[in-house]
Amino acid sequence: MEKKVIIGGVASILVVACVVAACVTLTKHDAETSSKGLATSTKSVQSMCQPTPYKQTCEKTLSIAKNVSDPKDYIKVAFEATVTELKNIIKSIEPIKKAASDPYTKDALLACEQLFDLAAEDLRTSITKIQNFDISMIKDVVDDLKTWLSAVLAYEDTCLDGFTKKEYSETREKMAKLMNTTQELTLNVLYMVDSFGQMITQTTGLTRKLLSNSDSIIEASNRKLLQISSAQPNAVVSADGSGQYKTIKDAINAVPKKNTKPFVILIKEGIYKENIEIEKDKLNVVLIGEGPTKTIITGDNAVKNGGGMTTWHTSTLGVSGFGFVMKDIGIQNTAGPEKEQAVALRVNADKAAVYNCKIDGYQDTLYAHSNRQFYRDCNITGTIDFVFGAAAAVFQNCKLIVRKPGDTQNCMMTAQGNVDVKSTGGFVIQNCDISAEPEFLATNPAIKAYLGRPWKMYSRTIIMQSNIDAFINSEGWAPWNTTDFGIHTCFYAEYQNRGPGATLDKRVSHWRGYQKDISGDTINKFTADKFINTNPQWLPVADIPYEADMMMV
C-alpha cells in the first residue's frame, strides 16, 4: 500500500512539474526580462497556479524550489515534498486498516488500494507522455492528459463511494481527510493542463486537423486495427475442454504483460460462471465469442449478497487494460433487483470497444467507469442506474431495455458521474432504441422510468437521434434522491430524437443543467469523432461499424 500511494502522489506532483517545465521552455523566448526569472520567481509560481482551484496547495508545492534554473530541480523538490507528506498519510492509514473488523470495510479499503494503484499507473503514463511530447501534437497530448487525469479523479472518488452508507460515515470522513491533499493536487494538475492546452492552441493556432500529418497515416493505422477480427486466435477457450483453456481466467493469464499487439481470445459457445479481471498491464486483449446468446459469462456478486462487497468488486467482468475489444459475447449479473448494486461489466480501460454484446443485469449493470469507450449494436438491460460511471462513452445503435425493478423502486437508465466541470466524461447515446420489457409495461400501477439522473455534480448525458418509447416519464430526467443536487450543474441534452417518449414540452426545463435549446453546433461536439476519437485515431477497430458524425436516420 505504501509504495502504491507514494507513487500516485509523487506522480501527481511530477505531472505538475512537467507542465511547469513545458511552460518554462515554451515561454522562455517571449521576453528577455522574463526568460531567466520565470522558473525561479514567486511571480512565476503564482502565474502557474492562477487557473487552479486550490492555489494555496499549488503555490506551496511549487514554491519550495529556490534559485532554480533547471526545471528538473522543480521535479526533485516536488518529489521530496510529496514523499514527506505521503509518509505522514500512510502512518495515519495504518490504524484504519487494523481497526477494520467487518468484511465490507475491509473490502472497501482493498478497493481503495486497487484504485490508487490504477490512478498511479495513469499518472505514470501521463508523465511519459508529457516528457516525450512533440509541440506540434500538443492538442492531442492535452486530450490524453485530461482523459487520464479525469480517470484519476474518478478513481479517487470511487474509493470514497465505498463508504457512502451511514454506518460507514466515520471511515469515509477519515479517508476523505487523508485524501484531501491528493484530490486537490489532481484537480490542480487537470486545470493546469487544460489552461496550458488552451494557451498553446490560442497562441499557435494548432488544431487536431493540422496535427493529423496525413490521412494516409490514419488510414494505415485503421487497416492494422481492422485485421484483428480476421486474425488467428492466440488462445481458444472451451468449457468442454476442446480448446487450449477451459476457463477465460486461464486464457487471460496467458496474455503477456504490456502486450503491444492484439491478443485474440476465442471463447467458444458455453456458459462460463466466472468473475474475471483484466488487469491494467494486460493490454490489447480481444475477446471474441460465438454470439451473445451462445457465449455467456455469468456471475451473481452483489453489494447485498451478504459477503461484504463494494460495487467495484461485484463485476462479472472488469477491464482495466488499454485497447480492450469485445465482440459477440453475453455478460450477465443474475443477482436480481433485491440485491442492489450488481455490475455485469465494468470498463475503466482507455480506448475500449464493445460490439454486438448482450449486457444483462438489474441495478448498475454497465459500469462505464472512466476513460474513452465505444459501444455498438449492444443490448443493455437493467433497472436502476444501469448505465453509470464517469467514462467518455459513445453508444451507437444499441438497445437500452428497462426491466421490472424491485418493489417501491423506480427506474433510471443512466447515472453519469463527472465530479468536476473540467472532467472529460459523458454519455452520448446516438441512434439507440430505448424500450422496456413486457414485465415492466404490465405493472399496475405503472412504474416510473427516466432517462437518467445526476449521480455526481457535473453529470453529462446526451441522447440524440434515438427512439424513445412512451414508458419514459414526460419529465424525462429525475433528481438524485428528490434533492436539487446537480440539477443546475449537470449537462443533459436531447436532440433529434423520435418516438412517443421523445416529446420535450414537459421536460425539466426549470433545471439550468437541462439544455432545452441546444444548437446543432454544440451537439456536433459530442459526435464520436470529436468526443472520443482523438489522434492517433483508434476507431474504427476490429471491423466494428462506426459513425464518425451525425447519422442519416
Catalytic residues: 385
Strand partners, 426: 392
Question: Hey, what's the cell of 253?
Answer: 493469464
* Runs of H (alpha helix) within 28-70: 32-35, 42-49, 55-62
What does the DSSP assignment read for 446-503?
PPPEEEE--SSTT-EEEEES-EE-TTS-TT-B--STTS-TTTTT-EEEEES-BSTT--
Question: Hey, what's the cell of 370?
Answer: 472512466
CA–CA dist 285, 174 (Å, integer): 38
CA–CA dist 17, 434 (Å, integer): 46
Write down the residue that cell numbers 516525450 correspond to. 132
Write down the residue that cell numbers 462505464 correspond to. 368
Edge-to-edge strands of the sheet including 379-382?
Answer: 270-273, 295-299, 330-333, 358-360, 379-382, 399-402, 433-436, 467-468
Query: Of 134, 112, 101, whose CA–CA distance to 26 is shortest?
Result: 134
Query: Of 394, 393, 411, whose CA–CA distance to 402 is shortest?
Result: 411
In sequence order, the 6+-apart residues with CB closer than 8 A to the CB of 157 are 390, 417, 419, 456
Please, what's the largest Cα pairwise distance for the chain? 77
Edge-to-edge strands of the sheet including 325-327?
Answer: 235-237, 263-267, 285-288, 325-327, 352-355, 372-376, 392-396, 426-430, 460-464, 491-495
